[in-house]
Amino acid sequence: MAGGASRSAPRVVILLGPPGAGKGTQARLLEERFGLVQLSTGDLLRAAVSEGTEAGQKAKAVMEAGQLVSDEIVLAVLKDRMAKPDTARGIILDGFPRTEGQARALDALLAAQGAEVTVAISLEVDDTAMVGRVAGRFTCAGCGEGYHDEFKPPRGDGVCDKCGGTAFTRRADDNAETVRERLTAYHAQTAPLIAYYQGKGVLRRVDAMGTIDNIAVAMAEALERESA
């Protein structure tokens, strides 16, 4: 357990890495294994866009351009989600924080609950492979399981392995041009957080260029060490 967190405080796991590094896939695996709840600010914002809320209307064009939504909007959707009781045991933050301002706001939010970041796992990848990884991905519309045309197609053609659903969705921002913008935003605004969490002594680096299963093993080890 990290220094200042109380015994009953929720575990807070942060996943850092560029688009395509596998944050969402790994968050779902950690969720099942460690009983944590995945909070993806990208998913929360996409839900706000499709519901047409005020935050969603403001975020839509920014997301389509592959840029970062304002800290104010992102923090508002995140705080709403963190207030739900299912987050009490612990959370995996996927895609948040993405700026130093968000990281500081998170520290303040957690401190008010007697909690702090347990571990920040940096998924280390080769950027040049990320465009291909992102451009081929799609999701089951029923259960949210993630797939990829080349690296993880469903076992049965057109049928979700998990729920048997047959409808799939592709994100509007998962095209090569927008992925390049998102990579630029990552390096300019988010990569500095690696040093931020290193300075706090909670950073763990995981080589995320291997198979989904091998990366999952390394992630679980990083988390188990922190929770011991």
By annotation, the residues acting in catalysis are: 23, 98, 137, 171, 182
Residue nearest to ligand AMP (CB): 42
Chain position carrying tokens 């049928």: 159
Contact predicate 145/162, CB 8 Å: yes
Determine phi and psi for 4, rounding to 5 degrees: -95, 5
41 binds ligand AMP (CB under 6 A): yes
**How many CB atoms sit inside 10 A of residue 171's CB?**
14
120 binds ligand AMP (CB under 6 A): no
74 binds ligand AMP (CB under 6 A): yes
Q: Kindly write down the DSSP assignment for every residue of 58-121, as one continuous string.
A: HHHHHHHTT-PPPHHHHHHHHHHHHTSGGGSSEEEEES---SHHHHHHHHHHHHTTT----EEE
48 binds ligand AMP (CB under 6 A): no
Contact map string, positions 149 to 188, toward ligand AMP, x by CB under 6 A: ------------------------x--------x------
77 binds ligand AMP (CB under 6 A): no
Q: Which residues contact ligand AMP by CB under 6 A? A: 19, 40-42, 45, 62-63, 66-69, 74, 95-96, 98, 102, 173, 182
